[in-house]
Structure formats: structure tokens, C-alpha cells
Amino acid sequence: AAMENKPYAPEQWRAWLTPVIFVVCIIMFVYTMHVNNCPEKTADSHQCVLRDILGRYSFQPWKENYLLGPSIFTLRDLGGLDRNLVVRKNQKYRLLSSMWLHAGIIHLVVNMTSLMLVSYRLEQEFGFARIAPLYLLSGFGGSLLSCLHHKGKKEIVSVGASGALFGLLGTMLSELIANWTIYANKCTSLSVLGSVIALNLAFGFIPGVDGVDNLAHIGGFASGVLLGFILFLRPQYGYVSEKYIAEGYDAKHRKPKYMHYQQLCWIIALILLVLGYIT
């Protein structure tokens, strides 16, 4: 009997990588505070926030870190992004290690909430094999641009998963554009996503908001946009997988898996991404 033609149906993946990233970031923050040990390493231990409750895990004084976290020296020692150490000491591992550290409990909560809201859905749709390189390369791209921006500046240590998270937002945008023909409410989706991205990017440029590494956000976002065109293409509407083609069906009438503009976006994005990282 002839098999019934079935359209391409994306597989739903079990999201496990996103929760792992979530747990690792929390563990790293607890370890950071353990190493920081504010009461022992601060001249006036009474200034440590919540010292009587948290002990060695208490936070640095408000005037030093308003995000409720460790000192800049602890973050640097544990792998925070310091351009001088990356360039002069050849400690390039900091371009990746910094994305697992957070400047404070507020910083951690904001980033982990964003991670679960954005990354979880993407991993369910596309799987961990695509999310893993996206997350790491976006974080790397954000760190790279941040390093270039902080040239000649002293006492600046950047940490956090913000570059990787902006990469996820960038990917959501390029994924929507690349797979435009298969979305039903495409204009609404684009408007909502565009507003979320614009608000997140604009927050870092508000006068009086300090400690936000805008260049890491932009670098991560740009990397995510390009990676989205490379890793997240979906087969066009009407494409039928070979395993579902009925016996005797003329393959000449079968639609190609990807449209020409999708293939063009893939090529351009790959070239720009490679040029961006090597230059």
C-alpha cells in the first residue's frame, strides 16, 4: 500500500542543557562567595551585607557592590574577563570562563530568569546540539567585543552570561526571519520580539545605570543573529521528507528542503561570523 505523504514535522526535544547551565551558574556563584569570604578579607567586617546571617558568604559592602556579590578581585581571580590579563598574560580562557561568573545575586537572578524563559523554549525546538555551540559562541563573541572596547582601561572586570543570553535573543530574531514563510503570525511575532530586544539593549544605555557591559551585549547579540541563520534553518513549508514519500511519487515535484534566500542567508552569515572572529 502506498504511504500517505506527510509534511515535515519538527521533533520536540527534551530540554536538559538549559537546566544544567542554570545549576552550574548557581554553583559557581556559591563557590565565588565561599572564596570571597567578605568578613575575613574586608578591613571593617561589619560593613559586609548580611554578615550575621550568611557568615563567610555575606556580600561586599553596598558602596563596593550594589548587586549583592563578591569583590572585583575575587571575580578576577576566578576567571573574570580582564583585558590586560587576556592580552598581556595570554589568559584567553577568560573569554569563556567569565560567562559562568556573576557579579551579584541580583545579576544572577536576572540572567537565570532570562535563561529559562528564552533558552528552554529554543532547546525544546532545536535540541542541545544546536543550543550548546550557540550559547558558547555568543558568550565568546560578547567577551571578544568587550575586550576590544576596554582597551587601555584599568580595573575593569566583566562577568556574566548576558552576552550568551543576548545571543539567544539574536538567534530568535534571525530564526524568525530565516523561516519567515512557515510562521502564521509573523508580523506580531516580529513586533513583540523586536520590542523585547530593543528594551534589553536600551537598558544598558540609560544614564545613571552603571556596571552594564553594553559591548558584551551587542557582541553576543550579533553573534547570535549570525549563528541563527547558520544553525536554525527550518525546511520550507510543503517540504516532504524522503521517508514519507509515497511509492511511485515523482520526486521532481518535491519541494527542496530550503528556499534560495535561506541558503543565501546561511552563506552570508557564515562568512561574516568567520571574519568577525578571526579579525
- Is the confidence at residue 8, as pLDDT, over 60? no
pLDDT of residue 212: 66
What is the per-residue pLDDT for 148? 81
- Is 217 an active-site residue? yes
pLDDT at residue 7 in the model: 44
Q: Rounded to two decimals, what is the model's pTM?
A: 0.81
Residue 223's nearest CA partner among 165, 142, 150 is: 142
The C-alpha cell that represents 86 in the structure block: 587576556
62-106 pLDDT, tens digit each: 988 888 999 999 999 999 999 889 988 999 999 999 999 999 998
Looking at domain 82-278, which of 1.10.3470, 1.10.1740, 2.170.270, 1.20.1540 is its CATH number?
1.20.1540
Those residues whose C-beta lies under 8 Å from the C-beta of residue 175, and which sit 6 or more positions away, are 228, 232, 234
pLDDT at 243 exceeding the cut of 60: no
Cβ-Cβ contacts under 8 Å for 32 (sequence gap 6 or more): 69, 70, 74, 75, 78, 101, 102
Q: Region 158-166: what's the mean pLDDT?
A: 91
Spatial separation of the C-alpha atoms in residues 98 and 220, rounded to whole Å: 13
Among 102, 107, 150, 217, the active-site one is: 217
Alpha-carbon gap, residue 57 to 50, rounded angstroms: 9
Q: Which of 138, 162, 174, 223 is catalytic?
A: 162
- Which of 110-124, 173-187, 221-235 is predicted most confidently? 110-124
Active site residue 223: no
Q: What angle do CA 143, 144, 146 make, to 5 degrees?
A: 65
Per-residue pLDDT of 25-40, as tens digits, reads 999 999 999 999 999 9
